[in-house]
A and B are shown apart, each in its own frame.
Chain A
Amino acid sequence: MSHDHHNPIDHPEVQLASAGGYLFAYAFGLGAMLLGLWMVLNHTLTPVGLTTAVSVIALVSVIVQLYFLFKLDLSSTQIWHTVSIVMTAPLFVMAVGLTIWMFHTLMQRTMIPLPGMGM
């Protein structure tokens, strides 16, 4: 509140926006989603392979969107956003990683193996 923010267009965050970037990120996201959908509908891979492939696609589109939609970089306007993503990423990896580990051992101990699980 210390600065005057009467014209939102002047904000550096808004100034960073670019129509080309938005369109590209949108098209990319759409493409990635369609690719994932196609792979699932056509059973292109084993269940485990599919999960992995879809996860990778999701990860790539997250990165694309962070860069093209949110313009994350180290400039003074964006650095705190970047810092927060850098601090969240390990939590995310940890939560997903530990979950996979746990469910993996649970499946081994209680379920009939799925094809492609390599057990």
Chain B
Amino acid sequence: MLVDLQGPWSPIFGRLGLLLDVHYNNPVIFFAFQLVVVGGALLAFWLTCTNRWKWLWKDWLTTVDHKKLGIMYILVGLVMMFRGFSDAIMIRTQQAMAVGPDSPGILGAAHGYLPPYHFDQVFTAHGMIMILLAVTPILVGFMNIIMPIQIGARDMAYPYLNALGLWLTVVAAALVMIALFVGDFSHAGWVGLTPLTELPYSPGVGVDYYIWSIQLGSIGTTLGAVNLIATIIKMRAPGMTWGRLPIFTWTTLASNIIALTSFPVLGVALGLLTFDRYVGTHFFTADLGGNLMMYTNLFWIWGHPEVYFVVIPAFGFLSEIIPTFSEKPLFGYITMVLASMAIALVSWTVWLHHFFTMGASPGVNSYFSIATMLVGIPTGVKVFNWAFTMYRGRLRFPTPMLWALGSLFLLITGGMTGMMLSVPAINYLVHNSVFVIAHFHNMFLLIAYASFGAVAFWWPKVFGFRLDEKLGKLFFWLFTAGTLLVFIPMYTLGFMGMTRRLDYVAHTSWQPLLLLEMLGIALYTLSVLAFVAQLAVSIRDREKNRVTGSDAWETSRSVEWMTHTPPPFYNFAVTPVIHDRDEWAWRREHGLTSLVPDRYLDIHMPKNTAVPLIIGMLTLFFGFAMVWRIWWLAAASLIAIIVVMIIRSFDKDTDYIIPAAEVEKMEQEILSRAAGATGDTADAPIGGGAGGAYASRHAPSQSRKDT
């Protein structure tokens, strides 16, 4: 039943024999390998020297605390973003070097320094990593950290599932990193172009790495989506009606509805491809009634909603940052909610605009063209709402606001070029040119800008101290200069006819623009350094930059600013009662910011568990075994996963109660530490969520009808 394979296979080692044929003489890979090994060794050394293994295990690896899981999600995302960025540098340098027949080649390449086979792997890994393993984890991380606090919850609806989602994402990242050193990666583009991904065209293990990494990671994302949606529906604090839900929470909901409905389609598409490659079915080959365009179709039924899955939370960031630094409520709350939902819905009806050139009838193309343009309406509504929020506001421009404004400009340019692409006549000209690349990078950069804004915005909340503003601004301006220098030339080259995925550039007239892009990527590199320096300096000066009180920006508006900074592991000493849409702003106005509630209650918390980590490890074995077709290992790890899941389901000892007295003691401690920091011992500092839990007694709370 299994297909015949080229090359060696043994029952014990599967296809690992292939490795003997590969020569690891590529200095680029060797350098990356050294980086990983030395970095890992240094980390292990540091952990041992400072005696932190136990801390790592107890506080992080086995945690189910949504804040810590969120931080780890973002960490994974940032690390993978760095990896993807290294790929980007390679792509840009290759294209800048390999122009014209006379351009020299080194390291076995005819031109430039990357042979085509290697270059194709680089851009495939770059795209797949950036979308699925960098942007997605960063956004999911923020949803994890912020959303539960924003709705006044103690944790997510399913803390254990939450940890499982994280570890599956880590497995996906680990598989891609392993592919860098053990075997090779897919060379068929992040979309997995059929029939290139079929076995006859890709006989190695690269495509299998691609398949299993995405497949396992996306199971994690789907679990996360279930969890986030359930949390929003079930765990809202008293008074947190749908009409008072913070906008970021709304966008989290919209985004995860997209994830929940679209990721299964990806699972099916990749599953069918897996069948084609492993057992010789013909879903996507022309034999026996298969159809290669069906893969593209299924892929984009997921793919287009996916791009909205990542952009909508970014809109959520903007909707929190802009009002805070305009010192005004968000303009048009209801329309903002409706727009998010409308975008989610429409995103499901437009996927064919990714293959207008396939040859479907003009009727089909017109329908999808018009549907695509419809997305512009809710997006436009959002842009105007942000503009009206700023209009006549008291504007301030710290780093989060700068990122937010940059994001707005990128949204406008990216949206406009998207509109151009949605016209089939234009699309026929620029399809598969670098114009498309510029468009979607424009869109993803919007997300990156909003995310960096969110990092700067929520960092003080999560860690209790501010990031250095000076280096933050340097980071912003270097990054922005890089963006302009890379992507304006790229749009231009698209119009000049440069197609995407070129490892050799025939037209020497394109070289000046390619060199400009090279300059841009150099600026990006400097910006990364500025970012690292910013983190280092801020951590060094953390005592100086410590936040006193709960609200780091003093004009924040939503519930997450009502609890201590950083929040204790139980988030709120007493579940807050919500009175208004911008609860924190409302309490500030009514002088209800005191920290001390009139009484404490028992708190019910989930226990730490190593099971998600164990399942993650087993899944990594499973993925690796499937890639190399080591059937015994795959079967063993799959069975082990099932057994562990069954054992866990009989475990009834999964949570515990913190007695009210102990809560009080911990709260007192936090309060006195905060008072010490301000040097103000007389009164409890302003701010803090526990206080005013029962504020509704004195408040004109139900005066505003907005449910």
Binding site for B on A (CB under 8 A): 1-2, 6-8, 47, 80, 87-88, 91, 94-95, 98-99, 101-103, 105-106, 108-110
The reply to whether B655 and A1 form a contact with Cβ atoms under 8 Å apart is: yes
Q: Quick check: A102 and B301 within 8 Å, CB to CB?
A: no
Assess the B154–A102 pair: CB atoms within 8 A.
no
Query: CB distance A88 to B358 under 8 Å?
Result: no
- From known contacts A94-B348, A98-B349, infer whether A88 and B261 are also in contact, taking CB-CB under 8 Å: yes
| Chain B positions 439 through 454: 1 when the CB is less than 8 Å from some CB of chain A, otherwise 0 | 0000000000000000
B360 adjacent to chain A (CB < 8 Å): yes
Q: How far is the CB of A96 from chain B (nearest CB, A)?
A: 10
The answer to whether A1 touches B361 (Cβ under 8 A) is no
Residues from chain B with Cβ under 8 Å of A2 in the complex: 235, 604
The reply on B7 being an interface residue by CB < 8 A is: no
Q: Report B554 CB to chain A, min CB distance, Å.
A: 32
Q: Report, nearest first, the 3 A-B pairs whose CB atoms are least far apart.
A: A105-B361, A102-B360, A102-B364
- CA separation between A37 and B301, bound complex, in Å? 28
User: What separation, in Å, do the CA atoms of A109 and B359 have in the docked complex?
Assistant: 8
> What 8 new A-B contacts, CB under 8 Å, besides A95-B348, A101-B364?
A1-B155, A95-B301, A98-B352, A102-B297, A102-B364, A106-B358, A106-B360, A110-B359
Contacts A/B (CB < 8 Å), 17 sampled = A1-B655, A2-B235, A94-B348, A94-B349, A98-B349, A99-B301, A101-B364, A102-B352, A102-B360, A102-B364, A103-B291, A103-B293, A103-B360, A105-B360, A106-B360, A106-B361, A110-B359
Residues of chain B from 354 to 378 with CB closer than 8 A to chain A in the complex: 358-361, 363-364, 367
B261 and A105 within 8 A (CB): no
Chain B residues packing against A (C-beta within 8 Å): 154-155, 157, 159, 233, 235, 257, 261, 265, 289, 291, 293-294, 297, 301, 348-349, 352, 358-361, 363-364, 367, 604-606, 649, 652, 655
Residue of B nearest to A95 (CB): B301
Q: Which residues of B contact A102 (CB under 8 A)?
A: 297, 352, 360, 364
Of B297, B348, B604, which one neighbours A91 at CB under 8 angstroms?
A: B348
Most buried by B among A80, A87, A88, A105: A105
A108 touches B348 (CB 8 A): no
Residues on the B chain within 8 Å of A8, using CB: 649
Most chain B CB within 10 A, of A47, A87, A101, A102, is at: A102
B352 lies within 8 A of A91 (CB): no
* Least CB distance, B226 to chain A, in whole angstroms: 10
User: Looking across the interface, which residue of chain A has its beta carbon closest to that of B265?
Assistant: A95
Contact B363–A105 (Cβ < 8 Å): yes
Closest B residue to A99 by beta carbon equals: B297
Q: Which residues of A contact B352 (CB under 8 A)?
A: 98, 102
> Are A108 and B604 CB-contacts (below 8 A) given A6-B652, A80-B233, A99-B297?
no
- The smallest C-beta distance from A108 to any residue of chain B, in angstroms, reads 7
Given contacts A1-B606, A6-B652, A94-B349, contact A106 B359 (CB under 8 A): yes
Chain B, residue nearest A101 (CB)? B364
Q: How far is the CA of A84 from the CA of B235 in the complex (A)?
A: 18
CA gap between A99 and B257 in the complex, in Å = 21
List of A residues within 8 angstroms of B361 by Cβ = 105-106, 108-109
Neighbouring A residues of B257 by C-beta, 8 Å: 87
Q: Return B281 CB to nearest CB of chain A, in Å.
A: 14
A75 to chain B, nearest CB (A): 16
Closest Cβ of chain B: how far from A102's Cβ, in Å? 5
Return chain B residues, CB-CB under 8 Å to A87: 257
CA distance A88 to B348 in the complex (A): 11
Using CB atoms, name the residue of chain A closest to B156.
Answer: A1
Q: Please, how many angstroms separate the alpha-carbon atoms of A50 and B233 in the complex?
A: 42
- A105 contacts which chain B residues (CB < 8 A)? 360-361, 363-364
Closest residue to B264 on the A side, CB-wise?
Answer: A88
* C-alpha gap A88/B363 in the complex (Å): 26
* Distance of A106 Cα from B291 Cα, bound (Å): 12
Report Cα–Cα, A103/B361, bound state, in Å. 9
Contact of B261 among A6, A91, A110 (CB under 8 A): A91
Smallest CB–CB gap between A47 and chain B, Å?
8
Which B residue sits closest to A47, measured CB to CB?
Answer: B289
B349 lies within 8 A of A1 (CB): no
The reply to whether A1 and B293 form a contact with Cβ atoms under 8 Å apart is no
CA distance A80 to B363 in the complex (A): 37
* CB closest chain-B residue, reference A114: B289
Bound Cα distance from A98 to B349, whole angstroms = 8
Expressed in whole angstroms, the Cα–Cα distance for A88 and B155 within the complex equals 27
Cα distance, A109 to B364, chains bound together (Å)? 12
> What's the nearest-Cβ distance from chain A to residue B192, in Å?
18
Which residues in A have their C-beta under 8 angstroms from that of B348? 91, 94-95
For residue B338, give the distance in angstroms from its CB to the closest CB of chain A: 16
Q: Which residues of B contact A101 (CB under 8 A)?
A: 364
A6: nearest chain-B partner, CB-CB = B652
A7 to chain B, nearest CB (A): 8
Residues of A within 8 A of B261 (CB): 88, 91
Give the docked Cα–Cα distance between A7 and B654 (Å).
12
In the complex, what residues of A have CB within 8 A of residue B301's CB? 95, 99
Query: Given the complex, which residues of A lie within 8 Å of B359, measured CB to CB?
Result: 106, 109-110
**What residues on B are CB-neighbors of A108 within 8 Å?**
361
Query: Smallest distance from the beta carbon of A105 to chain B beta carbons, Å?
Result: 4
Distance to closest chain A CB from B430 (angstroms): 22
By a CB distance below 8 angstroms, the chain A residues around B364 are 101-102, 105
- Give Cα A80 to B232, complex, Å: 13
CB distance from B646 to the nearest CB of A (A): 13
Residues of B within 8 A of A7 (CB): 652
B236 smallest CB distance to A (angstroms): 11
Inter-chain contact B154/A106, CB cutoff 8 Å = no
Residue of A nearest to B649 (CB): A8
When distances are taken between beta carbons in the complex, the residues of chain B under 8 Å from A106 are 293, 358-361
Q: Which residues of B contact A80 (CB under 8 A)?
A: 233
Which chain A residues border B265 with CB–CB below 8 Å?
Answer: 95
Q: Is the CB of A1 within 8 A of B157?
A: yes
Compute how far the CA of A106 lies from the CA of B355 in the bound complex, rounded to whole angstroms. 12
B154–A1 CB distance below 8 A: yes
Chain B positions within 8 Å of A1 at CB level: 154-155, 157, 159, 235, 604-606, 655
Give the distance in Å from the alpha carbon of A37 to the alpha carbon of B188 in the complex: 34
Q: How far is the CA of A90 from the CA of B106 in the complex (A)?
A: 55
Across the interface, name the chain B residue whose C-beta is closest to A84.
Answer: B260
B663 CB → nearest A CB, Å: 16
Query: When chains A and B are docked, how far (Å) is the Cα of A98 from the Cα of B157?
Result: 36
CA–CA, A34 and B349, complex, Å: 34
Q: Return A116 CB to nearest CB of chain B, in Å.
A: 14
A109 → chain B closest CB, angstroms: 6
* In the complex, chain A residues whose CB is within 8 Å of the CB of B604: 1-2
CB nearest to A4 among chain B residues = B604
Separation in Å of the A72 CB from the closest CB of chain B?
17
Shortest beta-carbon distance from A51 to chain B in Å:
10
Q: How far is the CA of A98 from the CA of B371 in the complex (A)?
A: 12
The interface residues of chain B lying within 8 Å CB-to-CB of A91 are 261, 348
Question: In the complex, which residues of chain A have a beta carbon less than 8 angstroms from the beta carbon of B159?
Answer: 1
Give Cα A47 to B291, complex, Å.
15
- Which residues of the partner chain A approach B157 to less than 8 Å between Cβ atoms? 1
Alpha-carbon gap, A1 to B160, bound state (A): 12
